[in-house]
Each structure stands twice: as C-alpha cells, then as structure tokens.
Amino acid sequence: GLKHVTDAALAAVLAKLSEQGALNDFGAHSRRSVARAVAADLDQATPYGTVLQTLELPLASSELGTSFSWCFCHPAAVLCWLASGSRVYSQLLEDLLAKKPSSCSTPWNIMFYVDEATPGNLLATDNTRKSVCFYWAFREMGQELLSKENNWYLLGVLRSKVLASVRGGL
C-alpha cells in the first residue's frame, strides 16, 4: 500500500525483511529478483499471447529510424492474466457480464484515456523523459468503478519524442 517507493527503497525493505527471516518463501530478495519475477509472471501464456507484446510503429522521419518497436500490454491478454490471478477480479468480470452480456451484436464499449507525464523537474528546459501514457477501460464497468484508477488498464507508455515521429501522430 506504499506509494512513491523507489526501487532502491524496495530493495532495502526486502533486504531488512530477509535479514529477519520474514521472506523465507517469498523468493525475491533484491530489485533484480523482483524484476525477474515480474517479467516471468507477465511472460505467462494466455489464449491471446503474453501480456507484453511488440508492435512496429512506422516513423515519419528517419531521425529515429524507419520504425519503432513499441512494447505494449495486449488488452485481451491482460484480462486473462488478471482473471487467472485474482478470484475477486474474475468474479467482478462475471458479475458485470451477467448484468450486460457482451456479444457480437451488443459488444461492450471500450474507452481510451491518454495522458502526458513528465517525471522529475517539470520546469526543466530539457524534458526528454516526457512520455504519453495510454489507458483503456470498459464503459460497462460503470461510473463508480471507473472513478478508481485501478480499473483503468495500462495499454502502454511511449516517449513524447517518439510519438511526435510516428507517422500519423497520436
């Protein structure tokens, strides 16, 4: 439940807990082992492939090359991954589908949200780390669920500089 915890702070907490014997069955005791565990979890197969997939984005200018390989979260794979890992989430989807079934003739509505974020000093003259974040959700989740950021699924993040070079733009 902690917010704004850096990787270094997480590693320090894990090291302290490990020293006290509290992580015997946890398996991850360092930043790298946590990163490996997350990567392995996201690399699990779903009927739609793995959660993280790559899409080639054609670039208009040759400054960055002819295309950019964008790593994004496949929406259908994300739903499978979340539902298989959480009985509570799986039940939420079942309840929503019972209220309004999604079919070819009456599909659920997908909403997109795009936001630009600038890490670090917002007033810096060189904001090369500025990025655009893409999120999506189902309108059928309703206002109460959609008002919580946890119910908006990350599609991906793309540096603003790269996005400016993508053929067709945003």
The token pair that represents 86 in the structure block: 């959480």
What is the reported pLDDT for 26?
Answer: 62
Q: How far is 83 from 88, CA to CA, in rounded Å?
A: 8
The C-alpha atoms of residue 51 and residue 67 are separated, in whole angstroms, by 22
Gap between the Cα atoms of 39 and 19, Å rounded: 25
Contacts of 165 (CB under 8 A, 6+ apart): 59, 60, 61, 63, 64, 68
pLDDT 10s digit of each residue in the chain, 170 long?
Answer: 566 777 778 778 877 877 777 766 666 666 777 778 788 888 889 999 999 999 999 999 777 789 999 999 999 999 999 999 889 999 999 999 999 999 999 999 999 999 998 887 767 777 778 899 999 999 999 999 999 998 999 999 999 989 999 999 88
Name the DSSP class of 30: S
